[in-house]
Amino acid sequence: MKGLKGKVGIVAGGGRGIGAATARRLAAEGAHVVIGDLQGDWAREVAEDIRSTGGIATGIDLDGTSAESQAAIVACAVETYGGLDFYHSNLAGGTNGDVDILDCPVEVLDASFAINTKSHFLASQAALPKIIERGGGAMIYTSSGAAAGGAAWQVAYPMTKNAIHALARHVASRFGKQGVRANVICPGLVLTEAVKQYLTDEYVERGLKGIPHTRLGQPEDIAAAVTFLASDDGAWVNGQVWHVNGGAQMRD
Ligand SMILES: NC(=O)c1ccc[n+]([C@@H]2O[C@H](COP(=O)([O-])OP(=O)(O)OC[C@H]3O[C@@H](n4cnc5c(N)ncnc54)[C@H](O)[C@@H]3O)[C@@H](O)[C@H]2O)c1
């Protein structure tokens, strides 16, 4: 893809799954990548792996819900690689105990809000001044098809993911004239480590039957879309919510 060689980017929540696949793809396209994760060792392992194949990457601890930690990962990108061109805000969590509205404890909503909404707000506050300093760049946020599709079994995750769509549209509108693009990817069912541990073979089979595609998603499917949005090939995509899901939900 165009324009990624030498660009500097952060992948938050890049220790495994979709984030790790995205970090690898970005590095393969020539970007310099800072990988942050609550599990700092996972982030360092992914970075080490990228370096062992000739890429450029650094892994560090990140608590995305902390403004100080978000400031630190941005500082790491600037100090190590000279600036910041894009930020993939991908981390998520807080879904334990998230059930339907009548039974979901408010503490679960608060935890989900901190991880799935506030972290993206803080990421934007930390990253945007540096991206603007470079003359523009990209924010790419990972949401979920659950934010738009209706989820009878849980309330907090779709609510707190949906807020990211408004955040991206705000950033796109406010900073578009300064060269900033902000977009959201909503993955469908992607077979990451996190998902696989909860899935029975039967669920996977049902999931596959439910989509007009030959297979379920792989982390690399989402990584490709994020990388496009970070690259110059995505230069005219701004303020959009993209559903990358093998056709599971078809949306305008
Ligand atoms: N896999 C799917 O089917 C699917 C579907 C829809 C949306 N998504 C979204 O895609 C993204 C990645 O999903 P995944 O399946 O790769 O999940 P994952 O759990 O493997 O990845 C999330 C990463 O974020 C890290 N993280 C969690 N809280 C953090 C915090 N406070 N600070 C820093 N890092 C933190 C985790 O340690 C983990 O490495 C998430 O935003 C998820 O909601 C995934």
Q: Average pLDDT of 223-246?
A: 98
- Which ligand 1 atom sits closest to the C-alpha of 13? 24
- pLDDT tens column, 77-108: 999 999 999 999 999 997 899 999 999 999 99
Q: Ligand 1, closest atom to CA 62?
A: 33
Ligand 1 centroid to Cα of residue 77, in Å, is 21
Q: Which of 111, 159, 119 is nearest to 10 (CA)?
A: 119
Q: Is the CB of 17 under 6 A from ligand 1?
A: yes
What is the Å distance from ligand 1's center to 192 Cα? 9
Structure tokens at 79: 């100090």
Identify the CA nearest to 74 among candidates 15, 30, 133.
133
Q: Provide the pLDDT confidence category of residue 172 given band limits of 50, 70 and 90.
A: very high
The domain limits of the chain are 8-190+218-244
**Mean pLDDT across the chain, nearest whole number?**
96
- Give the DSSP letter of residue 103: T
Nearest CA to ligand 1 atom 38: 13
The yes-or-no answer on residue 81 being catalytic is no
- Centre of ligand 1 to C-alpha 177, Å, is 31
pLDDT at 151 > cutoff 90: no
Return the residue whose CA atom lies nearest to atom 23 of ligand 1.
13
Query: Quick check: CB of 9 below 6 Å from ligand 1?
Result: no
- Helix 119-133 × helix 67-81 angle, to 10°: 30
Atom of ligand 1 nearest to the CA of 14: 39
Contact between 140 and 230 (Cβ < 8 Å) = yes
pTM equals 0.98
Residue 185 sits at φ, ψ, to 5 deg, of -110, 130
Which entry of 87, 141, 157, 198 is annotated as an active-site residue?
157
Residue with the two structure tokens 């297979």: 215
Average pLDDT over residues 30-56: 98
Handedness of CA 120, 27, 19, 207 (dihedral sign): positive
Task: Classify domain 8-190+218-244 by CATH architecture.
Answer: 3-Layer(aba) Sandwich (3.40)
Number of alpha carbons in the 13 Å side-chain half-sphere of residue 36? 27
Cβ of 95 closer than 6 Å to ligand 1, yes or no, is no
For residues 158 and 193, which has the higher predicted lDDT (pLDDT)? 158
Atom of ligand 1 nearest to the CA of 145: 6
In whole angstroms, what is the distance from residue 8 CA to residue 72 CA?
15
If you measure from the C-alpha of residue 70 to the centroid of ligand 1, how many angstroms do you get, rounded to a whole number? 17
- Give per-residue pLDDT as tens, 204-213: 888 888 899 9
